[in-house]
Amino acid sequence: MTEELSTVLRRNLRNHLRSRNLREAGEVLERLRDLDPLSPATRELELEYLVRMGRSREADILGRRLLEQFPQSSIFHYLGGHVAYSNKDYSRAVQYFREAQHLQPHWKYRRWLGKALTQKGELDEAEALLLELSAEGREFPSDLAWLYERKGDLGRAIALLEQQIKQHPDDAFLKDQLQRLRVRELDPEEVQEEMELMQALGEGPPEEMIPEYVRSLLTTGQGAKAREYVSRESAAWSTRTLRSVAWDCHHLQAYDLATPLFLKVFSEEKHNVKFLAALEKAADRCGKLEELIALLESHAPEDKRLYGRLNKLLRRLPPQ
């Protein structure tokens, strides 16, 4: 009877997770933990629940523990890849997804391996995987569009999004992505003209245009104007825009602009190893290491992983 009830609860929990009914999923998971807490099937669903809830720290701890116990489990490698991917640790995500595919080949593992490889910058292998899936009838236009954007092939990325919007005409995310790419196709001078016209008309720019405008100013030698604009407007920007502008400024070596923007999104990005490395470099280049150290000191008690980076930075300071 107990095993029959556990089977029913697991089936219900999978259905809730698939439908993203996370409150109901949590209630079923509690019952399953009481009834059958240690079985691999229960631990798998518990890990998936933590991943879907965005409880990345708990998911990371549980995922590592489960992989120690079940190193030959493809599903635990797959879920561990999702945890690493959500933490933007793309190197580890690639390792997990690759091992899941090695243990038990599945199209889902290949798709997420392609996504993680794209984020890691290994674009040729990612493209081969995603095109292979497309040839099999498993098409993921958004994944390929992001890959081609990373490759600088905006025309191909736009064509893929246009194709997908025909199938999903009410998808706001796809429309935002398409608008952002169309803005990116404009020349810097065209971006500036569009922005200045909207400012003259008293209209706020679409969010997708803000990073392009800042980039256009920096790439046309108008650094002072870019700094004045960021200083005046950035308080009203969303986290997504702050992050995007910060990365653009970092890539264009405008470290004095990148650093304060990175600091504004620190709470959301502090688990991202790539972000922390970029912030440290930017802060060092513009003389803001002490400000970064103070921020790390305030966050380290709640996230012990920051202590290693903090101690390294403290050793770089000149003796008092």
Q: What is the pLDDT along the chain (320 residues), one digit of tens a residue?
A: 467 777 778 788 788 878 888 888 888 878 878 777 778 888 888 888 888 888 888 888 888 999 999 999 999 999 999 999 988 889 999 999 999 999 999 999 999 999 999 999 999 999 999 999 999 999 898 999 999 999 989 999 999 999 889 888 888 888 888 888 888 888 889 989 988 888 888 888 888 889 999 999 999 999 999 999 999 999 999 999 999 999 999 999 999 999 999 999 998 888 888 899 999 999 999 999 889 999 999 988 888 888 888 888 888 776 65
What would you measure as the largest C-alpha separation in the chain, in angstroms? 74
**Which pLDDT score, from 0 to 100, does residue 319 have?**
64
CATH code for the structural domain at 184-316: 1.25.40
- What pLDDT, on the 0 to 100 scale, is given for residue 185? 85
Whether the model clears a pTM of 0.75, i.e. scores above it, the answer is: no
Q: Cα 213 from chain centroid?
A: 23
Residue 1: per-residue pLDDT: 47
H runs (alpha helix) in the chain: 2-18, 22-35, 40-53, 56-69, 74-86, 90-103, 107-120, 123-135, 141-151, 154-167, 172-184, 188-200, 209-219, 223-233, 239-251, 255-264, 266-269, 273-285, 289-299, 306-316
- The pLDDT assigned to 72 comes to 93
The per-residue pLDDT for 48 is 85
Report residue 136: phi and psi, to 5°.
-90, 0
User: How many whole angstroms separate alpha carbon 120 and alpha carbon 313?
Assistant: 26
Q: At what angle do helices 154-167 and 141-151 cross, to 10 degrees?
A: 160
Can you give the pLDDT at residue 121?
A: 92
pLDDT of residue 311: 87
CA angle 137, 141, 144 (to 5 degrees): 105
Domain borders along the chain are: 184-316
User: What is the model's pLDDT at position 250?
Assistant: 96
pLDDT value at residue 2 = 66
Per the CB < 8 A criterion, the answer to whether 77 and 96 are in contact is yes
3-state secondary structure of 304: coil
pLDDT value of position 245: 95
